[in-house]
Structure 1
Amino acid sequence: MLGIRPTDPVGTLVTGPVAMTSPTATLRAAAETLTSDNLGLLLVVGPAGPRAVLSERDIVASIAAGDDVDVERVRDHATADLLTVDESTSVRDAMRAVLEAEVRHLVIERGGVIVGVVSIRDLAAALLEEHTIA
């Protein structure tokens, strides 16, 4: 992340395509995707487009409640409220949004189309980089 400043657009932190899952996928299938791709969040996409997000915490909560991950469906455990910002939002303002909403992931849009997801870790690393002494 060399050279990222707090005033730079958060879109510069987006590094790849958004990982997705179907609302009808099992929680096990979603967990396998998260694990194989070393991710913390999946975008839940149905026929009408993006509808929600499913985080590793959603899956852990389901397991803790005694749910069967081979039976439970993503749609029943995903969070429908997507926290989104435009890719032009500053890294500082993106971090502020994440902290105010008390979430760990932020969906990044370009002209209303989802182009990526950044985590609180991505944002913290970018903000701390400016203060790191070589």
Structure 2
Amino acid sequence: MKKKLVAISLILIVFLGCDSGLKKKIITSEDGLNSLTIISKDAEYYIFKGKLDLDKIPANGYVKNKGVVEHFNALVKWSNGQVDLYHTYGVFDESKKPKDIILNRVSVKEFERLKKLPEYEYFYY
């Protein structure tokens, strides 16, 4: 019995120790037809169009935001296969960005105005 307990404990330690360090958040539109996946690792946030079920970060197809604060506020608007992201701050790397993700930096006043409109979905990451 003691050997089984030790074996199970070792398996749990190995299993839990294999954490990839990735955290994932999925934002879905109210109708469920559109989504974004945000993967975070080492204070960097990778924003992808659609739902991703991966254990590693793909080589391209994302916008990267380097984390300097605890949470980032954003708005998203989906239209005709395009993703419009609105933000007030952040350090973005668009070098691996697909053409259908558009970043829009807006003032806090404009952000708060857009946030009230039904076609924009508020989220934070």
Same fold per superposition (TM over 0.5): no
| Higher share in helix | 1
| Higher share in strand | 2
TM-score normalised to the size of structure 2?
A: 0.28
TM-score normalised to the size of structure 1?
A: 0.26
Higher Rg of the two aligned structures:
2
Higher-RCO chain (CA-CA 8 Å, sequence separation at least 6): 1
